[in-house]
Amino acid sequence: MELEDNLDSSRDGLEQKIEQMEIKYYRAKEEKAKKIEELNLSSDVSTNYESVLFTCSTLITLKLDIGFLLDVPKGVFFPNLKTLHLRSVVFFSDDSVESLISSCTSLEDMLIEKCHMWNISNFNISYHLLRRLTILYSEFVVFDFWLIIDAPNLAYFKYIDHVVARYSLENLQTLVKADIGIFNNSKLLLSCEPLPVFATMMELKLGELWSSFKWAHWETRLETLLSSSPELEQLDFDQEFLSSLPDKGNILAHRINGGKPSTD
């Protein structure tokens, strides 16, 4: 009996020491995390990163390429974060996205690639310092959600994705370059809503996803697009689109040159 009591006592003491070691380890891990400036996580395994991730207040660059549910609580603060790249993450909710954006008070460069929007009804990217925004190949169950962008200092915008239910593009007067490729583009170009005015955009690239769009629909909408971009100097089309045009290619050149006959 005495031997069993001694064994139980030793076991309890060992468990307490292990618990104390674990506490010290996690505290040290958290303290180290507070000093990290660049974090690049890439994994196919669903792991709980939040306990460390949301304590990295010194981060300048954060890149996540991991298939896990990103639930950002209110009160998280990344005061120094300038670059945020998210790949393959699952956004938890509209509020979580808002908490993420509002926590990055110095954000300049944001990339969202192959992220899951299953739980989203309003994807709101509103931030006054944002300079570069890239959205690529989002994963949806349905496309019935709004994409809201309000970025008064945005200079570069790349969007290659499906058409969503509605777009709200505000304060993009500083946009200089855009690279656009849209699946199901007829839904967008045939809509009744006016296109936003890009007052400072000088370069626009329309990718290969536009090549399936019929010229009969293009003619009017292209003119509208050009009139919405008064400073546009360069308009690039995918070669496949240009080769698919009928004889009306001269009309395209005519409109791009501001009504002057093409010399090519």
The kind and range of the H/E element at 117 are none
At 151 the pLDDT is: 95
Looking at residue 144, its pLDDT comes to 77
Which secondary structure element, helix H or strand E, spans residue 219, and what is its range?
helix 215-227
Q: Worst-scoring range by mean pLDDT, 48-52, 96-100, 194-198, 245-249?
A: 245-249
> What band does 257 get if pLDDT is binned at 50, 70 and 90?
very low
Q: Between these two residues, 171 and 35, which has the higher pLDDT value? A: 171
Q: What CATH class has 31-175? A: alpha beta
Average pLDDT on 187-205 reads 63
What is d(CA 4, CA 244) in angstroms, rounded to the nearest whole number?
A: 86
Whole-number Å distance between alpha carbons of 72 and 55: 12
Average pLDDT over residues 53-72: 87
Q: Which residues is 157 bridged to in the sheet?
A: 133, 178
- d(C-alpha 116, C-alpha 108), whole Å: 22
Whole-number Å distance between alpha carbons of 14 and 33: 28
Helix (H) / strand (E) containing 40: strand 38-43
- Say yes or no to pLDDT of 217 above 50: yes
Whether residue 88 has pLDDT greater than 60: yes
| pLDDT at residue number 111 | 98
Task: Read off the pLDDT of residues 4-27 as tens digits, 9 standing for 90 and up.
Answer: 555 555 555 555 655 555 444 445
Predicted confidence at residue 104, as pLDDT, reads 96
Query: Tokens 């990295």 identify what position?
Result: 56
Boundaries of every domain in the chain: 31-175, 189-205+212-264
pLDDT of residue 230: 81
